[in-house]
Structure 1
Amino acid sequence: MKIKATLGALLLTPALLAAPVHSAQAAEYQIDTQGMHAAIQFKIKHLGYSWLNGRFEKFSGNYSYDSSKPGQSKVQVTIDTTSLNSNHAERDKHLRSKDFLNVSKYPQAKFVSTNVQAKGDKLTITGDFTLNGVTKPLTIDAHKIGEGKDPWGGYRSGFSGTTSFKMADYGITYDLGPASTEVFLTLDIEGVRK
């Protein structure tokens, strides 16, 4: 009996060694811009009296996320800066010019995460943000909205994040007054699991 058991174990050992090892990996998500279930909006103070709001109509990106290991998440977003829309054609033309985004030379802005810190559903995402040809570290404070199956047989997750930056840090020095030096971004992102 012992001989048969030992022989069986020896026969199974090569098969076990050859079997693929599956480790848990974060799921990959594509940001749902096709269905417009995502938005990147900006605002800046106007003369210190009110807020000027706008958005970017075109962007793309992806992220990896595992709810059991959110600190291992990764994010990458590319923004088409030519798609800026502040609901005023003449102003948009100026914002796309060399005074601001210089879209003829730099038609894209990009964020690539380098570190994610997680506490429950709250995430602090640090990464490299490139705008107007300048790359600097940027931190996004984000939180998970939810995740689950969708009605079309897919699986989705969604997050909302905010960040801000000084225009001068990205080589934008056009004087809008002392109250209008900082841009605030809101990113509402829904991704479809690949």
Structure 2
Amino acid sequence: MNKQLLAGGLIALAAFTSTVKAADYKVDVEGAHAFIDFKIKHLGYSWLLGRFNTFDGDFSYDAKSPNDAKIALEIDVKSIDSNHAERDKHLRGKDFLDVKSFPKASFVSKSIKFSDDKNAVVTGDFTLKGVTKTITFDVEKIGEGKDPWGGYRAGFSGSTTLTLADYNITYNLGPASTYVEIGLHIEGIRK
């Protein structure tokens, strides 16, 4: 009986340790330590910058097995903010984001491949305006460690370029304005 209990305990322990994955983090949107920004050329003459003020998400990460990392984000596209109320109203309309029909955008990673302890390539599904495309972008680990409030944090930053027509955004602002650069600057608090 004791041998069976010991064997059962060892099997359970082995199963538990083999399924232990990376630590889970909540993106720190409450403390405003995470940002999703964008940059697009205005008629090819200058850059227009903005951000999405409301989003949420989670990620998992462990430095011992970084390629097991995952991230999922949901963006409230109504929260677009280009620092100009009339332009934001236009961006929320049917010419661009059509937020009444498509209020949310999302990103869910499919793979994260670290080339060293700091740099990775993230591949995942990005959904915007009802269209889902697989995108890839470079990410840099900014750092991780204890915070002054007794928690533990990790932060990453990355960017990618999206072709607007891929997401049914075809409003003509000239050939220099057919794509947008998206930046993700994510700090998470370990759960």
**2:184 aligned partner:** 187
* TM-score, length basis structure 2: 0.93
Q: How many residues align?
A: 184
The CA deviation at 1:63 is: 0.6
Give the structure with higher Rg (CA).
Answer: 1
Match of 1:174 among 156, 171, 186: 171
Aligned residue identity for 1:139: T
The CA deviation at 1:14 is: 2.6
Aligned residue identity for 2:145: G
* TM-score, length basis structure 1: 0.92
SS of residue paired to 2:96: coil
Aligned residue identity for 2:6: L
Aligned pairs (5 A) from 1:90-101: 90-101=86-97
SS of residue paired to 1:92: helix
Structure 2, gaps ≥5 residues long: none
1:43-81 CA distance string (max 9 Å, x none): 000111110000000000001111111111111000000
Instruction: Name which of structure 1's ranges 16-25 and 148-157 shifts more when overlaid on structure 2.
Output: 16-25
**1:5 aligned partner:** none
Is the Cα–Cα contact under 8 Å of residues 156 and 187 in structure 2 kept in the other structure?
Answer: yes
Matches of 2:21 and 2:39, distance apart in 1: 36
1:143 aligns with 2:140: yes
1:16-57 CA distance string (max 9 Å, x none): 223241314210110000000000000000111110000000
Aligned residue identity for 2:164: M
Structure 1, gaps ≥5 residues long: 1-9
Matches of 1:17 and 1:87, distance apart in 2: 64
